[in-house]
Structures are given as structure tokens and as C-alpha cells.
């Protein structure tokens, strides 16, 4: 089983490397637009100094890889080092066509392919941009900055420098690139399998609990509550509130089961970034 997972991870990371390299060479590098993070820093320095982008990507990520080794383990560090090294080599040996000279298309689709590459690498258990490692570690050390806050502050600095050295227009297109990449990373990591919390308020809570746990095989939590306004006249009537977590793929069958038991059930759905433990369907390739 571990061998099969290792092969899946390797294929996923490999596809991510090809996608990111295509986004860089097929779109961004010829237009002098940059991405965020360590990749963006490498591209900015390359534009200013004419240094090799492939060498810079690897060198700038080295400190982050060391942090990953110290804090996240040897296996993660090895996979990420290989992934970033292969990205650098791919940029040198594979000749990608310059797809378009349209600036808007370049910014958007360059970001799409880079974001897809980063997301696939993460799915495979590695990173091709080390700033994500630093963001996680900083967020654990302080309660003030979240991961997204750290990445945002870093990218504000990067794009400010890009505006100074490359010009305002390239910097603005670079922000579009970063936004497209960020959206693709989120879609690849979550997509239609994003977790959602489902809260069910019903007078048939016990039957719903049994259906979710025994028929659907999902864990539930029961809250004790009271009805605040009852059309049936039972104000302050005690109610068991059922809470469960499911992926978007599971939600239609879950709702159908609940409404089949109680068509008047009140269902609240909310997005959840991630979960640990419990009876959950794990996301693919995680």
C-alpha cells in the first residue's frame, strides 16, 4: 500500500513540476511578470541581474527546505528538495513554447499553471515554493499572524519591489498572476472535496443520527438545545442538534437522507478548511 501511495505521490508531484514549469516558461518569463513567494523573489532577482532563474529558484528555497527538515521531518524535506531540484532542471532542459503575447492572458494563465503545479505538489506531500513552510511555522509561533496573513505581507513586499524595479504595470499584472495561482492552489487542495460542516435541527434527531452513523458511516456530535420560536407552538422545547462533517461530494446524499426522515428539518451548511481525526472521508492523495 505504501508503494502504491509513493507512486501516486511521485506522479502527482511530477505533473505539478511540469505544470509550474510551463506556467513560467510558456507565459511569465518572456513578459517579465512574476509570481509571489520564493518563485516570485527568484523571478524578480533574475529580471534585475540576468541570473539564471533555475539556479535562483533552488538557492532561494534552500533556507526554507532546511526549516522544513527541522520542523516537518526528513521525508517532507527530501520530497520537497527533489521537487524543487527537478523544477529547476525542467526549466533548463525542456523547451516550452511562448504561448501568447497578450498581457492579460499571460498573467492569468501563467498563474493558473503555476498554481496548479503548486497544488499538485502539495497533494503529493511536497512543496515547490518554500515560503509556504515559513508561513506555517510563523503562524504556529505567533497568535497575531495566520498563514494567509504572512503570505499576504510577504507578497505585498515582493510586488512593491516589482513596481519599483520593473514598473507599475508589470507589477499589477503580477498581482493578477498571484491571485490566479492562489485560486488554483485552493481549488486543487480543496475543490469539490472541501469539507463542510452540517448542522441539523429536527424533532427526529435520533433517527437522523442513526441514519448518518449507521447508514452513511459518518461521525456525529449531538448538541443540547431548545427551540427559540416554534411554529408548532412548542417554544423552549428541548431539541437534540446533530452536527457532522462531510465533503461536498457527500452532501447531496446526506441531505437527501435527512430530508427523507424529516422534510421540515432545518439544515445549516458551512465551509471548513480542514479537520483532524473522526470518521471522515479523507481527501484523495493526502
Tell me the C-alpha distance between 235 and 169, whole Å. Answer: 61
Tell me the C-alpha distance between 62 and 81, whole Å. Answer: 8
CA distances (Å), 32 to each of 49, 260, 268, in order? 13, 57, 46
Q: What confidence tier does 286 reach under pLDDT thresholds 50, 70, 90? A: very low
Q: What confidence tier does 237 reach under pLDDT thresholds 50, 70, 90? A: confident
Mean pLDDT (whole number) for 238-257: 85
Residue pLDDT, tens place only, 59-112: 999 998 998 888 778 888 999 999 999 999 999 999 999 999 999 999 999 999
Question: Which pLDDT score is estimated for 102?
Answer: 95
Question: Which pLDDT score is estimated for 285?
Answer: 39
Q: In this predicted model, which residue has the larger pLDDT, 158 or 189?
A: 158
For residues 42, 46, 51 and 57, what is the CA-based torsion angle, rounded to 10 degrees? 20
Q: What confidence tier does 234 reach under pLDDT thresholds 50, 70, 90? A: low
Q: In this predicted model, which residue has the larger pLDDT, 281 or 122?
A: 122
Answer yes or no: are the C-beta atoms of 56 and 154 closer than 8 Å.
no
Residue 275 has pLDDT above 70, yes or no: no
Tell me the C-alpha distance between 191 and 173, whole Å. Answer: 25
Residue 217 has pLDDT above 90, yes or no: no
3-class SS letters over the chain? CHHHHHHHHHHHHHHHHHHHHHHHHHHHHHHCCCCCHHHHHHHHHHHHHCCCHHHHHHHHHHHHHHHHHHHHCHHHHHHHHHHHHHHHHHHHHCCCCCCCCCHHHHHHHHHHHHHHHHHHHHHCCCCCCCHHHHHHHHHHHCCCCCHHHHHHHHHHHHHHHHHHHCCHHHHHHHHHHHHHHHHHHHHHHCHHHCEEEEEEECCCHHHHHHHHHHHCCCCEEEEEEECCCCCCCCCCCEEEEEEEEEECCCHHHHHHHHHHHCCCCEEEEEEECCCCCCCCCCCCCC
Residue pLDDT, tens place only, 32-47: 999 989 999 999 999 9
Q: In this predicted model, which residue has the larger pLDDT, 16 or 253?
A: 16
Residue 279 has pLDDT above 60, yes or no: no
CA distances (Å), 156 to each of 160, 163, 185, in order? 6, 10, 19
Among candidate residues 201, 44, 35, the one with its CA nearest the CA of residue 106: 35
Residue 229 has pLDDT above 80, yes or no: no
Residue 50 has pLDDT above 80, yes or no: yes
What does the mean pLDDT of the chain come to? Answer: 85
Give CA angle at 192 (269, 178), nearest 5°: 105
Residue 137 CA to its chain's centroid (Å): 16
Mean pLDDT (whole number) for 23-27: 95
Residue 282 has pLDDT above 60, yes or no: no
Question: Which pLDDT score is estimated for 13?
Answer: 95
Among candidate residues 80, 95, 73, the one with its CA nearest the CA of residue 24: 95
Q: In this predicted model, which residue has the larger pLDDT, 175 or 134?
A: 175
Residue 120 CA to its chain's centroid (Å): 9
Question: Which pLDDT score is estimated for 52?
Answer: 94
Residue pLDDT, tens place only, 113-171: 999 999 999 889 899 998 877 766 665 666 565 555 677 788 889 999 999 999 999 99
Amino acid at each position: 500500500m505504501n508503494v502504491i501511495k509513493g507512486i501516486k505521490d511521485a506522479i502527482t508531484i511530477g505533473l505539478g513540476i511540469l505544470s509550474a514549469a510551463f506556467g513560467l516558461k510558456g507565459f511569465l518569463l518572456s513578459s517579465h511578470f512574476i509570481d509571489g513567494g520564493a518563485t516570485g523573489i527568484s523571478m524578480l532577482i533574475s529580471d534585475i541581474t540576468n541570473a539564471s532563474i533555475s539556479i535562483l529558484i533552488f538557492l532561494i528555497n534552500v533556507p526554507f527546505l532546511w526549516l522544513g527538515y527541522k520542523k516537518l521531518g526528513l521525508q517532507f524535506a527530501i520530497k520537497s528538495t527533489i521537487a524543487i531540484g527537478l523544477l529547476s532542471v525542467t526549466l533548463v532542459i525542456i523547451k516550452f513554447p511562448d504561448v501568447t503575447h497578450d498581457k492579460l492572458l499571460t498573467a492569468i494563465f501563467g498563474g493558473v499553471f503555476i498554481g496548479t503545479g503548486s497544488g499538485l505538489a502539495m497533494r503529493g506531500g511536497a512543496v515547490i515554493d518554500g515560503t509556504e513552510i515559513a508561513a506555517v511555522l510563523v503562524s504556529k509561533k505567533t497568535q497575531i499572524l495566520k498563514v494567509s496573513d504572512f503570505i499576504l505581507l510577504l507578497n505585498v513586499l515582493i510586488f512593491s519591489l516589482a513596481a519599483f524595479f520593473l514598473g507599475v504595470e508589470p507589477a499589477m499584472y503580477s498581482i493578477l498572476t498571484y491571485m490566479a495561482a492562489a485560486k488554483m492552489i485552493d481549488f486543487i487542495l480543496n475543490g469539490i472535496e472541501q469539507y463542510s460542516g452540517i448542522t441539523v435541527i429536527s424533532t427526529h434527531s435520533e433517527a437522523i443520527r442513526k441514519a448518518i452513523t449507521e447508514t452513511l458511516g459518518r461521525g456525529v456530535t449531538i448538541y443540547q438545545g431548545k427551540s427559540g420560536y416554534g411554529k408548532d407552538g412548542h417554544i423552549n422545547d428541548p431539541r437534540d442538534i446533530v452536527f457532522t462533517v462531510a465533503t461536498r461530494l457527500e452532501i447531496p446524499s446526506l441531505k437527501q437522507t435527512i430530508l427523507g426522515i424529516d422534510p421540515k428539518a432545518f439544515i445549516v451548511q458551512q465551509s471548513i478548511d480542514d479537520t483532524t481525526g473522526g470518521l471522515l472521508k479523507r481527501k484523495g492523495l493526502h
